[in-house]
Structure 1
């Protein structure tokens, strides 16, 4: 099976690096930080910055530049691997599954993270959106992965913690498996049409083996 993994909230807990970079961008623009910011993790940056910046295109682009400035310098290192992920990856590799990453992070930010993960070499390919895009493009990236690997939808799974991952899976008729340890909610994943929900990495490995 082709297993496509989201990165943030699925393989790694990247809250510190992402939100630290968001706060840096807002500080540079003199904008007050929202009290609740976890919902920033997952959607495209421009989508999240827009309401705080009055949908001003130039300020949004400046905020994105400030975000990338800090993330490129130190934010990419500010994450932890969720417990049990390494064992799950080893189990999937041993079972002969093909693994790849499909993330909303630009490739230039995602690649160094994956290369520094102890199991980073398990992933055959990395798919990330164009940095100038205002969309997460999960559906487009999943479609590209199916074509690149010559995989059939029924033999492919997209694994992630937000509805963007499941939306992309549904659009390509692949299995969308939601994980409950990330930044999304059970309700969000179920509403998007998740094929199944995994309570922990061990459970996810069992679902992929089924």
Structure 2
């Protein structure tokens, strides 16, 4: 039996695509670059803010890249996530898991302050036992370092944890960390993309995910 469920954030617990799109476009316009579409935004997310900005610039070499990245991070972190929504059923799933004694954690490539803000807004009554965003000196997903640090903080063994995420980055993360994982199909990526990343277990709905977790 598992003791800990580690969730990805964007595309797994919260649909934040419109807010991310609005803020990356605000950033692009500010610095004189063309806007990108919502579909492009969804395709570009998954590896943190730096990679998102790099992809949104579409090969342009910006000498002031650091300034652009800082503007985006500040814009997004303080936007209040007005268009973001928790996916239907995920709060109920988290509450049910906690009632049954599971530890809950979140691991995101979003900066720590933004991760804290989103979790505090959408999940105040089922706040995870560990919320781990992008931190200085810690490798981001798909590296397994964040997972290992969460396990250490919560005193959980690898075989007692399962990772839940919607993207290729998440699949590679749980593989790299050496823990079990489940890929959800309601987020930003499709089954074929996840299979290509190494995913072998899938959940169509939060109810389906609960049953998959219980089978471990």
TM-score by length of 1: 0.90
1:38-187 equivalences under 5 Å are 38-51=42-55, 52=57, 54=59, 56=61, 58-130=63-135, 135-136=140-141, 138-187=143-192
C-alpha distance 191-146 of structure 1, shift in aligned 2 (>3 A): same
Structure 2 partner of 1:205: 210
CA contact (8 A) 1:53 1:59 kept: no
Q: CA deviation at 1:202?
A: 0.4
Deviates more, 1:138-147 or 1:20-29: 138-147
Give unmatched runs, 5+ long, in structure 1: none
Once the two structures are superposed, residues 49-75 of structure 1 have per-residue CA deviations (whole angstroms, 9 ceiling, x without a partner) of 325264636432222112123213315
Once the two structures are superposed, residues 17-43 of structure 1 have per-residue CA deviations (whole angstroms, 9 ceiling, x without a partner) of 111110011001111123432112222
C-alpha distance 135-57 of structure 1, shift in aligned 2 (>3 A): farther
CA distance in 1, matches of 2:18, 2:133: 21
CA distance in 2, matches of 1:24, 1:173: 39
CA contact (8 A) 1:99 1:123 kept: yes
User: How many residue pairs were aligned?
Assistant: 210
Q: CA deviation at 1:121?
A: 3.3
Q: CA deviation at 1:135?
A: 4.6
Q: CA deviation at 1:119?
A: 4.9
Once the two structures are superposed, residues 51-105 of structure 1 have per-residue CA deviations (whole angstroms, 9 ceiling, x without a partner) of 5264636432222112123213315343101111111112111221110110111
Structure 2 partner of 1:9: 11
CA distance in 1, matches of 2:123, 2:156: 27
Cα RMSD for the two superposed structures: 2.2
CA distance in 1, matches of 2:166, 2:144: 15
TM-score by length of 2: 0.88
Q: CA deviation at 1:7?
A: 0.6
Q: CA deviation at 1:159?
A: 0.5
Deviates more, 1:186-195 or 1:128-137: 128-137
